[in-house]
Chain A
Amino acid sequence: MSGVVVEKLSKVFGTVRAVDDVSFGVAEGSILSLLGPSGCGKTTILRSIAGLEAPDSGRIRLGDRPVFDAAEGGVLVPAEERNLGMVFQAYAIWPHMTVFENVAFGLKVRGTARAATEAAVAAALRLVRLDGYGARYPSELSGGQQQRVVLARCLAYKPTLLLLDEPLANLDARLRDEMRVELRRIQRETGTTMIAVTHDQAEALALSDRILVMDKGRIVQDGTPEEIWRRPAAPFVADFLGTVNRFAARTLDPTTLVAENGARVALAHGLSGAAEICLRPTGAVLEAPGVAGPNRWPGVVAASLFVGEYREVKVRCGTLELDLRISAGPDYPPGAPVTVVIDPERLILFRGEA
């Protein structure tokens, strides 16, 4: 049995197709991330699953229960009857209730007995490591603790699905790392199916079992974090997963390309036709100037910035400028001639338009 099934979902706002014929499923007990830039439709999908937004067409099923069906005599189950949990970007912890009352809310509206409620709240607070905080008001908690209260509030009544809307966006970098680990732990311990929405690729990669990369209301790629990182299905995905150098090339022979600046690239695997090449900033190293050749491009350092673990170096190779992260070797000052050594295993190639 599948956890969530979304079929042919569409939603139009005015003239914008916010969600355009999107279908996917989420396996029970797994974490799926919807990753994309703002305005790509990911939040609309999440809110449609939640029941806060009414899509124009399509179907949504939670387990074997249809909660939305745009077909005639259709179904639109209101949000309060879907038995979901949702973590809002701005937390939405009710400031007039104590932590206990916040966490107990979902149980109270379900008419749970007092003793059972207290036990469930205690268990949920223990799960997020906030035991003993029940009597506090949210305004007395730190940002990270508030985030944990939200999780406890959602998990206390054991929802069939947990939705997370940019769950870590409001935390500082250190807390974000911590909460990522916590979220995975909680997911493991409770087995709750989760769908997260994020525009942060690192968050999506670290958190998810599967990622849907979205652009302009459509799914561009659907895969595991590793697949998406190693084999982006489109230049957009590669771009979105980290600044990359992108340039056009044509094939000279099946294993040799000529980049748009005239330099040659020797490939590890064969390819034919015109191509688009993506090179990650870590996909090359710098050496002292020497003999040029395939994968060894002569260049001149245009700028160099020390940012701690590595240097951000901009190298001009003919008509191309490459942004590289160099973590070893000497410091080449601006103006210095260098050789850029490209690792062909780390190139990402797309068949370009001829």
Chain B
Amino acid sequence: MRGFEPPQEFRELLQSRFGVVEFPSDAPPLVDRSRHLELARVLKEEHGYKIFVFVVASHWLENPKGPDPEHYELAYALRTPGEGTRLAAWRVRVENGQPIQSLAHLFAGADWHEREQFDLVGVVFEGHPDLRRIMMPDDWEGHPLRKDYAIETACPPWR
């Protein structure tokens, strides 16, 4: 059990309106970058996925063995409240330097979560009302959870 089995209605929605054909058994399904805001809106307004759960960004360096360039992967999750609660999770792939649309106007909770992912991973969220660092000091250089930010890297002395 991986915790990502898409609920029936979510699977049907992805298949019929968002052209998703692949449902990997060990990860949430991938949704196109340009459609993911719409997906979140449809889930919230038509299917009752009202509870915001998380936004997680992960950084992937260029694969030396394959043609995979440097990119980010964002995972999103929403949940229905109450009896028979269901989790709808999906992933979005973002190429290096591309922005991704913010969910902050749809889900107030996305505000801090996206700020955290921006702060730690360096993903830029388009349309975020207040995108600034949340965990690290304002004058920090770099984004610590990137894979090219090694744990041994000497950091500039801070105050």
Indicate, yes or no, whether A interacts with B.
Answer: no
